[in-house]
Structure 1
C-alpha cells in the first residue's frame, strides 16, 4: 500500500493514478555503496546523482529527478517535509543552485521502503514538488534488529570505504514501538589524474625554459620537490569524509489516538583537495631577497595542496498526534530541522598577509552556513458515502513554515585582503541573517464515480511573506478498461519560491588564476549592474500513461510527461570584469560595492549570479517492465527493465541588463553563455535504462544489474571566448552482487559496482595548440570530464557481512 501521490488509503502502486516507484528494504540492500544517493541512482532511471562538485559542493553532493534542478524535488520522511542543506552548490554545472535535502544523512538501514512519485505534486505536498516527491518511510518494527559491516575500495584510485550500521526495534508497553538506527562511514580521498600544466607536460616531464619560457630557473629548481611529483594536483576526486548518523522512529497508541515522533542527528567532517599552489605562489621580498612560503617548512620549498573542510551538524525532529474523531482522521504535527556547516581552509596560506608581515596561518576559519526550517502541519481526511463506487475521500489541511538562512563571517586572517589560498573567508559584507514565513491551505478530493474510474483533484493556496500569494492545482485520473489495461493522466501547476540561499548567498570563488564573486541576487551590488530580486518560478505539468498487465506476474507501465517552467532560476555564466573576451568595468565596481577584495595576482576576475533567466521545457518518457519467474526447484528470479528518456530545452532566454552591453556589437551579452546553456540542455544524458535480475535458490542469491547511460555533452571554454563541445559517449555500467546465507541470521555479500571500470574521457587541449591550454581553463592535464553521469572513479568492489536478530 502506498501513501504518496494520493491521500486516499488502501491503494497499491500498481493501482496508482500517478507514476510511482516503490523500493523496499530488500531492493535497497543490494547496492554496494552505503550512500542513499548511490542507492537511488542505481535503482531509479529518472534519478541522477552528482559525481563531483566544485569547492564545498564536493563535500555535500546532490541529486535530482527528471533532469530538473535538485530544488524541484521535495523530500519527505514519513510524509513530513525534510529540511534542506545549508551548503549551496554554487559553481556551474547541472546541479548548480542545489540546496535541497541531503539524502546522505538518512541511513539506508533505517528505511522500510521509499516511494518515488515521478509527477508534479506541488498542490498536494508543497510548491517545490515540481519534478516529483521522494517519500522515505522509516522502519516501524516492534522487535528484532539487523545490521551490517562493509568495506570497499575503488579499483585503482583510492576511495577506501568502511561502514557499519545497527538497527534495533523494541516494544513500548503493549501498544508502542521504538526503532533506533546508528550508522558510521569513513570514505577516503580518490585521485583521478594530477599532472599540472604549470609543472609538467602531458607525459609528466618537468617543463623547461625551452618548452615554457615563462618558467623561471628558480621554479625549475623547486618543482621536482613537490609532493607526489609529477601527480601534484589532487583536486579531481572524492572528498575524504567521516559521517555518523543517529535516527529514531517511535509511536504509541493510547487508545483514542497515537502519538509519534521521529528524528535524526548527523555529524560529518569532510575535506576536499583544491588546486595545488606551486612553490613560488606565496613569497615575500625584503631588501631584494625573496623567500618562498611552505607550510611544511621543507627545503627546497615544496608548494602546498590546500583543502576545503567542513564540520557539519544536522538535526531534525518531528512530533505529532494522529487519530480518529467522529469519522474524521486527523494528523497534527510539528517539524524542526537545522543544518549548520562550519567552513575551514587548511594546509593553505594567505599570500598578501605573508608578503606584508612575513607570517601567515596555515589553517583558516572561513565562517559558517546555517539553515533552519520550522513547520507545523494539520492534515484531516474524511470519507463521504455519496452512492458512488467507493466513498469520496475528502482531505484538507494547512501548513505554516518558517525558514532562516545565515552566513557567519570568518576569522581575521581568512578575510585579510584576498584571504586564504583556494577559499577565502566570508567577509562581514557576505554575512547576514535572512528569513521568510509561509502559510498554505489545501483541499484534496479523491473519488471512484464508477467501477474502474479514479479521479483526484487538489488545490493549494500559499502565501509567502516576501512573495505574496498563489493558488496552484492538480487533477489526476485513471480508468481501468480491464484488469489488464488502464490509462492514467495528470495536469498540475506549481509555484516555487527561490531558496534563501539562492537569494542571499555571497562568497568569492578562486583558482590559481581566477577570482569570481558569487554576487547575492537580492543585493544592492546586483542592482548596480541592473539585476533585480529573485522572483518565484511557475510550472505547468502534463503526463499521460498506461498500465498493462497482459499475463500473471508481468506489469508494464509507460508514462509520458512534459514540465514547463517559467522564470526559472539559473546561475549565469561567468561575467568578466577583467581577463575575459569581453570585460565590464561595472562588474568590478559591483564587486567593490559588495565589499569583496580579490587576489591581485589572478588574471581573470568577474561575477556569477542567480537570476530568473529562462523558460524551460522538459519532455520525457518513463518505462517500467517487471516480471517474476518461479523455476521450482531451480530457484526464483525477479526481472526488471526500467528506462527514462528526458530532454530539456531552453525556450526563452532573458536578456542581460543594459549595463552588460558588448561595446563591439552594441548588444547585451547572453546571461547564459554556451557553457551554461549546455549544462541545462545536454550535460545530462537523454537516455538511461536499467536492467536487473535478482535470482535466489536456497541459501544463495545473485543480483545482476546493467545500466546504459546515453550520450551527454557540455561546452567548455578557457576564457569565455571560444567554446569547445566535449562529449561523454554512451556507456554500459555493470554491477554484480553475490549473497550467501551462512545461517538464517548471518549472510555474506561480495560485489562490484561498475565492474568493468568504465571512466569518462579526460579534458583535452584546445585543438591545434601545443602550450597545454585546456578547453576548460583548468590546470590538470589529465582531469576527467566531471559532468559524467556514472561518476569519475571507475569500479568499486566491496564485501559486506549482514546480521539479523
Structure 2
C-alpha cells in the first residue's frame, strides 16, 4: 500500500468516526498576529503583540498548518528568519536535533510552556565543527503542535526577566485551553528521492471540568524512516564507485555482499524514529478570585541512526585450534539507538487579592535517554571469547551503553499590582522569586559495551563515566512598567540569582518605546544576561571509536580535565543592545525594523580536536595518559587519538538586523492575500579565543590553538548571515494556497583531511553554499465546514545540498563517503519533500 493510500485510509476511518460531530472552523483569520494578546517579555496585562516594546513575533495555528513536517522545530524554522534548524547531526546528536536563535548556541534560547521554564534534554550534541555542538536544550519534538494555541518568540535578551538561558531570546509556547471541540489530523509524506517516509497523526479534544474548568488533551504519533545521501565509501571504492584493487580481497568480497552495495556506508542521512506524545492543559476556578491550573506532557521516542560501515576484516578471531575466522563476511553497519522518555508536569494556583495578582507554581521535568549500540560487535571481547572455542562463535551484536538522565525541580512565585499615580497609565509593579534544583546522571552500560575498546561506533559508559551531579539555584526579581506620558512605555527589570556551583549573578534590563503617533514608534532595550552551563556540558563523559580513531569527550568539571589545564565551566556573560521602529504606513500594514548587538564573554564552546597521537607519533603524552587512565584501550587508534572538551573558550560579538512586514490585501470576489515578510541579517565575530593549556600544546605538530579553523567557522560562517522569508496566504471561500519563499544567504566552512580546516600538509578546502531560494507550497480545500484536505511540498523544486568535493582521490573533509552533502546546509540534506494531510475539526 502506498504512503498516500495509508494516509487516506486513516483519514477515511477518522471521518466515519466523527461524522456525527458538529464541525466548526478553528483557525484564526490571517494577518491578525499583531492583534494577539501576549504575555511574553512584559508583566503588563492585555498587551498586544503590535504594542510590544521589544521585538516579538507570534506564530499561530494557521502558520503551523502550512508546514509539511509537523514537528515544532520545523514549524519555527520555516516561520522565523532569525531561527535556524539543525538539519543533520553526528553520532547521537542525529537522534535529537536542535534549533538556534540569532546565530547563537541552541542553549542560549530559553523555552517556556505557559510561561513556565521547560526542562532540557539529557542528550548532548558533542560533534565538533558544528554550530549546534554543545546543544542540550529543550527537545521541541516532545511538544505536539496540535496542543499549541500560539507561540510567542521574544527576540531579545531577557535573563533579567526569566533567568538563565535567555540570552538570544525566549520561546513561550501557549497551550490550547478550549473546553469543547477539537480536531483530528493525519499527515503522510516522503522525500522526492523515495525515502524518509513520514506519517503523523494527532487528536486534540477539550472537555468541561464541572461548570468552572476545562481539560484540553492532545495525543500525537510520529514516524519517520531513514534517509541516505552520498555515494560509495572511499576506503573501498574509487571516486567512480569501482571496487579498489589495493584492498584486502576479503574486504572487496565483503562490500559486494553488503545489502547497501554499492553505497555500503549509510551514515549520512536522517535517523529512523517513532515518537508518541501526550500533552494535557487544565484549569479550574476555585472561586471568583482563585483558580488552579495544571499542565504536563509525556513523550516516548525510539530512534536509530547508522554509523560508519565496518569492513569484513575489522573483526577477526583465532580459534583455540589456531584457525583465523571472520564472523562478518559482509562487514557490518553499526547503529546508535536511543529510547527516550520525556516527562513534565506543572501545577499551581493564581488569583487576585485586593488587586494583587499572584501566581504560585511547582514544576518537575525529567528526560531519560537510554542508549544502545546495535548490529555491532566489541572486537576485543569477541577475540578473547573466540580464542577459547575451537569453532566459530556468534559474537554479541547489541549492547546497552548506559542511560543519561536530566531532571529539574522548580518552585516559582510572583505578584503583580497596578497602581494609579496620575500618569498616562497605571504603574505595574511585579516581583517574585524561584528555586530550582537540577540533577544530571550518567548510568554505566553493561560491561561488554565498554570492555577494552568497547563496541564499535559507540562504546558504552564505563563506571568511570558514571555519576550523579546536581546544583541548586535561588533567584529574586523585580519589574516596573511605567507610562509617564501618553505614548511612552518604560519597563525596568532586575534579577539576582545564586547558584551553588559558581556563585552569584546580577542582571538588569531597561526597555523603552515611544509612539509618536498611531503610525510610528521607536523602541530599544539594553540589558545584561548570563547562561549557566548545562550540567550535561559540565559532566558528560564518553568515548567515540571510529575506523582507526579514538576520541574521548572529557567532562570539564573533573580532576582529569583540571590536570590537563582546563578549569570548571563558568557562566557565559552577555551584554545586549537593540534599537528599532514600528510603523503602520497604511491601514492594515505593520513594519518593524530592529538592530541588535550581543556581546558574549566566556562563551562555552567545544574545543577543536586535541590530539594525543598521529598514528605511532606522540603529540601529547598528557592526553594519552588521560585516555589510558579513563580506561580506554588505544589499540584501535591506528590513525589518531585525542580528546574533545567544552570550555569557556571565546568572547564573541553578534550583530544583526531583523525586519518584519505584515499586510493583508482584499481582492473582493477574488479573495484575500495575507502577506508576511521576515528578514534577518546576522554576523558573529570572534573577539578573543582563549589559549590552549600548555599541558597539551605541541607547536611542532601545530597543536597551539583551542579552536581550529573549522571550529571557528562553526561559530562565525557556517550559519547564513541572511535569511529572508516571504509568505503569501491566499484564501477564497473554501480554497487556500500558501506560498512561501525562504532565501538563505551564503555560508562557508574550511575543512581538511584532518577535519581541522587548518592549512597544512593535508591541504585545505573551503566548502561554500551560495545564496539559495527554497520554495514551499501548501494547497488546502474545505470539503465541509470541518473537513479540510491539504497537499503540498517543502523544497518544491528539489534544491539539493552542495556536496564535499574530492581532492587527491578522497573527500576533502577526510570523511569516508564520496559526494557527501554539506551537513551545515541550512535547508537540509534530503531535497524535496511532498505530503498530504486530512484535518477534521469538531
TM score, norm. by length of structure 1: 0.97
Q: 1:327 aligns with which of 342, 352, 355?
A: 355
Q: Distance in 2 between matches of 1:582 and 1:419?
A: 23
Q: How far apart in 2 are the matches of 1:433 and 1:602?
A: 34
Contact 1:715/1:726 (<8 A) preserved:
yes
CA shift at 1:765, angstroms?
Answer: 2.2
Report the more deviating stretch, 194-203 or 566-575.
Answer: 194-203
1:702 corresponds in structure 2 to 737
Query: 3-state SS of the aligned residue for 2:802?
Result: coil
Q: How does 1:112-131 map to 2 (within 5 A)?
A: 112-131=149-168
* Between 54-63 and 508-517, the greater mean CA deviation after superposition: 508-517
The separation in 1 between residues aligned to 2:123 and 2:96, in whole angstroms, is 7
- Whether the 8 Å contact between 2:272 and 2:303 is mirrored in structure 1 is yes
Aligned-pair CA distance for 1:714: 1.1
Structure 2 Cα separation of the partners of residues 414 and 614 of structure 1: 36
- Which of 592, 598, 610 matches 1:563? 598
Tell me which residue corresponds to 1:518: 553
Equivalent-residue separation in structure 2 for 1:582 and 1:194 (angstroms): 34
Of 208, 227, 246, which residue of structure 1 is paired with 2:278? 246
Q: Give yes or no for contact 1:488–1:546 (8 Å, CA) kept in 2.
A: yes
Contact 2:57–2:154 (8 Å) recurs in 1: yes
Instruction: Return the offset for 1:206.
Output: 1.1
SS in 2 for 1:414: helix
Partner Cα separation in structure 1 for residue 732 and residue 700 of structure 2: 72
Q: Shift of residue 615 of structure 1? A: 0.2
User: For residue 798 of structure 2, what is the aligned residue in structure 1?
Assistant: 757
Q: For residue 463 of structure 1, what is the aligned residue in structure 2?
A: 498
In 2, are the aligned partners of 1:417 and 1:599 still within 8 Å (CA)? no
Is residue 487 from structure 1 mapped to residue 522 from structure 2 by the alignment? yes
Deviation string 1:290-335 (CA, Å, 9 cap, x unpaired) is 21122xxxxxx11111110000100000000000001100000010
- Deviation track 1:751-792 (CA, whole Å, cap 9, x = no partner) reads 0000111121111223xx13x2x2222111121110111100
**Residue 390, structure 1, aligned to residue 425, structure 2:** yes
- Please list the CA deviations of residues 661-719 of structure 1 after superposition, one character each: whole Å capped at 9, or x if unmatched: 32439x97100011110100001000000001000001100000000001111122222
Q: Which residue of 1 aligns with 2:297?
A: 264
SS in 2 for 1:480: strand
**1:745 Cα shift?**
0.9
**Are 1:307 and 2:335 counterparts?**
yes
* Residue matched to 1:212: none
Partner secondary structure for residue 280 of structure 1 = helix
Q: Distance in 2 between matches of 1:142 and 1:692?
A: 32
Q: C-alpha displacement at 1:228, in angstroms?
A: 1.8
Q: For 2:69 and 2:248, how far apart are their aligned partners in 1?
A: 46
Structure-2 change in CA distance of 1:156 and 1:55 (3 Å):
same
* Unmatched segments (≥5 aa) in structure 1: 210-214, 295-300
The within-5 A match list for 1:201-600 is 201-209=238-246, 215-255=247-287, 256-286=289-319, 289-294=323-328, 301-358=329-386, 360-579=395-614, 583-600=619-636
Structure 2 residue ranges without an equivalent (≥5): 1-36, 387-392
Aligned CA RMSD, in angstroms, stands at 1.3
CA distance in 2, matches of 1:127, 1:352: 45
Distance 1:494 1:377 in 2: 20
Measured in 2, the distance between the counterparts of 1:620 and 1:597 equals 47
What are the superposed Cα offsets for residues 189-214 of structure 1, whole Å, 9 maximum, x if unpaired?
A: 011124101121122211113xxxxx
Residue 145 of structure 1 corresponds to 182
Deviation at 1:470, TM superposition (A): 1.3
Deviation sequence 1:483-542 (CA, Å, 0-9, x none): 111000000001211111111100001211211100111111111211111111110000
Q: Distance in 2 between matches of 1:503 and 1:218?
A: 44
The answer to whether the 8 Å contact 1:503/1:610 transfers is yes
Q: Deviations over 1:330-374 (max 9, x none)?
A: 000010000000000000011111112125310000001000000
What is the alpha-carbon distance in structure 2 between the residues aligned to residue 419 and residue 207 of structure 1?
29
Work out whether 1:625 is the aligned partner of 2:661.
Answer: yes
Partner of 1:681: 716
- Residues of 1 paired with 2:252 and 2:733: CA distance? 65
CA distance in 1, matches of 2:358, 2:651: 40
Say whether the 8 Å CA contact 1:658–1:668 is kept in structure 2: no
Residues in 2 aligned to 1:89 and 1:605: alpha-carbon distance in whole angstroms:
20
Secondary structure of the corresponding residue to residue 313 of structure 2 = coil
Q: 2:700 aligns with which of 664, 674, 680?
A: 664
Paired residues for 1:594-743 under 5 Å: 594-600=630-636, 602-664=638-700, 669-719=704-754, 720=756, 722=759, 723-743=764-784
Select between 776-785 and 68-77 the one with higher mean Cα deviation: 776-785
CA distance in 2, matches of 1:633, 1:538: 55
User: Number of aligned pairs?
Assistant: 789
User: Aligned partners of 2:251, 2:355: CA distance in 1, in Å?
Assistant: 81
Are 1:63 and 2:99 counterparts? yes
CA contact (8 A) 1:655 1:668 kept: no
Instruction: Give the match's secondary structure for 2:382.
Output: helix
Instruction: Specify the alignment match of 1:15 in structure 2.
Output: 51
Partners of 2:611 and 2:60 in 1: CA distance: 50
CA drift of 1:593 comes to 2.5
For 1:247 and 1:733, locate their aligned partners in 2 and report how far apart those are by CA, in whole Å.
Answer: 33
What's 1:135 paired with? 172
**Equivalent residues of 1:622, 1:644 under 8 A apart:** yes
The answer to whether the 8 A contact 1:149-1:164 is kept is: yes
- SS at 1:503 equivalent: helix
Counterpart among 786, 800, 824 of residue 745 in structure 1: 786
Q: More deviation in 687-696 or 512-521?
A: 512-521
Asked if the contact 2:255/2:264 (under 8 Å) is kept, the reply is no
- Structure-1 separation of matches of 2:213 and 2:104: 41
What displacement does 1:162 show? 0.6
What SS does the aligned partner of 1:221 have? helix
Moved more, 418-427 or 522-531: 522-531
Q: TM-score, normalised by structure 2?
A: 0.92
Q: 1:231 to 1:452 in 2, by over 3 A?
A: same
